[in-house]
Amino acid sequence: MTSTPDQDVGTLERSARESADAGPAAVMLPKALSLERLDAFIAYQAVLLEVDRGLGAEPGDGGSGAGESTERRRLEQLAAVEDDARRRSRLSDADIDAWEGLISEVLAARTGSNPVLDKQLSEKLDRLAQKAPGLDLRQSERRELDAVRARYGDEAVDLVLAREEVLRRQLEAAPEG
């Protein structure tokens, strides 16, 4: 049986109350932890990235003062597309926020704050580890990921790791700011 967004919101509201009762270490999890729901989130993000790239390509106003109305139209279009993409994905706003939090923490634990530089560092660590097999160069990364697992649970972290490559590509493609 498939849940509706209204059911998702009710479950997330209960989860939020339970999380609030659990103390400051508690986190909000997406309603349904499944690859299907994560893939819906990934598709939602892909639509937003594509539209943001397309809308961001509009020419400026050249100092004519029309830039403000152009920017307002761009933001209105983006908001409409985001709302439509969210409805089509059948994810609630709370689900989207929860997935974003989970994904950002998992990816940060795996790569730090700059995925491109950290990928280069990761490759260097792998080469060093091959030269010194007894040296544990990824201990810090594992500790950080263990902390994320403690907050969100193994199942949630494993789902994100199953789609890590596509999530990383989306992160790298996202506009700054």
**How do residues 51-99 score in pLDDT, each as one tens digit?**
877 765 555 544 455 678 888 888 888 889 999 999 999 999 989 999 9
Domain assignment of residue 113, yes or no: yes
| More confident of the two residues 112 and 174 | 174
Domain count, the chain: 1
The three-state secondary structure class of 62 is coil
Is 152 within a domain?
Answer: yes
Instruction: Report yes or no on 21 lying in a domain.
Output: no
Q: Could you give the CA distance from residue 49 to residue 60 in angstroms, rounded to a whole number?
A: 20
For residue 40, tell me if it sits in a domain: yes
Residue 18 lies in a domain: no
SS3 content of the chain, % helix, strand, coil (to 5): 75, 0, 25
Does residue 3 or residue 45 have the better pLDDT? Answer: 45
pLDDT above 80 (res 1): no
Range of the domain at 83: 33-173
Q: Give residue 27's pLDDT band: very low, low, confident or very high (50, 70, 90).
A: low
Per the domain annotation, does 4 fall within a domain?
no
Q: What's the mean per-residue pLDDT of the chain? A: 75
Confidence of residue 175 (pLDDT cuts 50, 70, 90): confident
Confidence of residue 24 (pLDDT cuts 50, 70, 90): very low
Output the pLDDT for position 10: 41
Residue 119 lies in a domain: yes
